[in-house]
Chains A and B, each alone.
Chain A
Amino acid sequence: MAPAVQTEGLTKRYGLRVGIENLDLEVLQGEIFGFIGPNGAGKTTTIRLLLDLLHPTSGRATVLGLDAHRNSVAVRRATGYLPGEFGLDVHMTGRQFLKYCGRLRYLDDLGAASQVADRLDLDLDVPMGRLSRGNRQKLGLVQALFHHPQLLILDEPTTGLDPLVQDTFLQMMREARSEGRTVFLSSHILSEVERVCDRVAIVRGGRLAALETTESLLERRRKRVTLVFNEPVDATPFARLPGVSDVRVDGNTISLRLHDGIDAVVKVAAQHTLLDLNVEHPTLDEVFLGYYDERQPWPA
């Protein structure tokens, strides 16, 4: 089965400025893939290249096994896309707009539009010019979902949505995955990525900084381990362990940052009387900030 999205050396430059550089990415079918990074990191550029709205400077991209440029119409037929920013015809209602989109897709009916709109608590019969920011976003989501696409490419999908609707949206993404569909989710709201994504790519300065499962990304990054002993303990053996950094001693307590597995730390700790052991796993936000902290080296 072809990957849902695959890029090889995908590069986009805007004059001297780099949009993305040499991006190699593979999104598997049936997964929810998080694509995270700060503003200007290259997330939207990547998405627009996948949809042939931008043309690459070099490299290539395939979507559902189809060349993103040469077969762009077929790609868009199988894809539901929510742009990060979009305008709407203020004189039309949501229903009229969706009917128009449906006709352009050769659909005779509105498919799941009413059902999706109901779940998102959106009235489709209000002129789009009167919709609030959140309701406009909901309409964008309905537009991306109503034709039941094989691949969903969503750029900052929860912007402007209230927490309840965000929950509903995330549930809908899980349902799409359970139906075997693929979701490519660009976001800088890390908590939602952490909640639904199977794998995460982090982009920094137009380059891929990490591509892993959400679990391993959280696991592999620096955990904070706190060891409480019955008496003060020499911290040197801990500091010498591979993957250990930032060792701090406070009375009977030693805390350290750990990149790799905890086994070696536990074995050294077991040579003393250990009263308590606490492992704080970083949130994706902390991982993300770690990747973006200029003092941090590039990840291997």
Chain B
Amino acid sequence: MAGLRQVWTLIAHQLHRRVRSIGIWGVALGGLGALYVALYPSMSSLLEQYMEQAPDLMQQYMGEIQGSITIEQWLGMELVNGIIPIALPFMVMVIGSRAIAGNEERKTLDLLLSNPLPRQNVVAGSVGTMALSLAGVLAITWILTYIAVPAAGVELSAGRLAAGLAALWSMCLFFGALALLASALVRRAFLAIVIPGVVLVAMYVIDGLAQASKTIEPLRVLSLFYHLGRPLEGDFPWTAVLVTLVGVCILAGAAIAAFARRDIYT
């Protein structure tokens, strides 16, 4: 219990420091969501015409959209399978990179560890901070996006939107945990962002290209974007979420092991 209290102290401290950042991310992504909802009525017919005239490869890239595009498909394409999973992981990657390497670079890790704080609690506190920060941003995004639904006169279930955004939580957390592991290994906060960043972009590109190229298609299973599926369309990726959470635990465990073995320099 004492350890949990300490971890909560770390989380509360980090969240307090990041409350503004969480708000900015939430408002930015929520505002974007609201904008897409507001644009849907005028964009749906235009997009339908575009899809009819688009080349086959483009149609494959855009997914199995046939006939008129629904609000779920539209938000999925632009937001849930588009901007959020490529942008939001960077917020938690920053948190993960700063937890060890960043604090070491800024020389704040010495004072932190001068307290009776087991190193694993630092890692646990960081994972907790990332998890709650993501939940906060996604909650704000959900609220702001859903506020625009009645104003735009479209039909979108609050539960469906919540499920779509919730599916992103574990995926974003995975990249944060990867940054945390890199932070425990490489001693440079910048590299601890670059490494998971490259993995993220590679997964995004592989998933996109695999939809249009048979050669790359076998690699698609390596991409979390593929396993994310289309959660806004009622297909919540339970297996992918659970497997990703197991991956988060493995990465966090590896970060604990790496941090325990490493020296801390000034």
Contact = CB atoms under 8 A, between A and B. Distances in A.
Interface stretch (A100-108, A217-225, A244-252, A286-294): A100-108
B148 to A, nearest CB: 34
B116 interface: yes
A80 B114 CA distance: 7
**Is the interface on chain A under 10, 10 to 19, 20 to 34, or 35 or more residues?**
20 to 34
Given A48-B264, A89-B17, A100-B13, A53 B108 contact: no
B111 A104 contact: no
B262 to A, nearest CB: 8
A80 B113 CA distance: 11
Given A48-B264, A89-B17, A106 B5 contact: yes
Interface stretch (A3-11, A71-79, A186-194, A228-236): A71-79
A85 B264 contact: no
Contact of B114 (A44, A55, A76, A103): A76
Contact of A84 (B5, B106, B266): B266
Contacts of B266: 44, 48, 83-85
A100 B9 contact: yes
Nearest to A101: B115
Given A44-B266, A53-B263, A85 B107 contact: yes
A80 B116 CA distance: 10
Contacts of B110: 53, 81, 83, 85-86
Listed residue (A83, A85, A144) with the most chain B CB atoms within 10 angstroms of its CB: A83
Nearest to A81: B114
Contact of B9 (A104, A140, A143): A104
Interface of B: 2, 5-6, 9-10, 13, 17, 106-108, 110-118, 261, 263-264, 266
Interface of A: 44, 48, 51, 53-55, 73-74, 76-77, 79-81, 83-89, 91, 100-101, 103-106, 140, 143-144
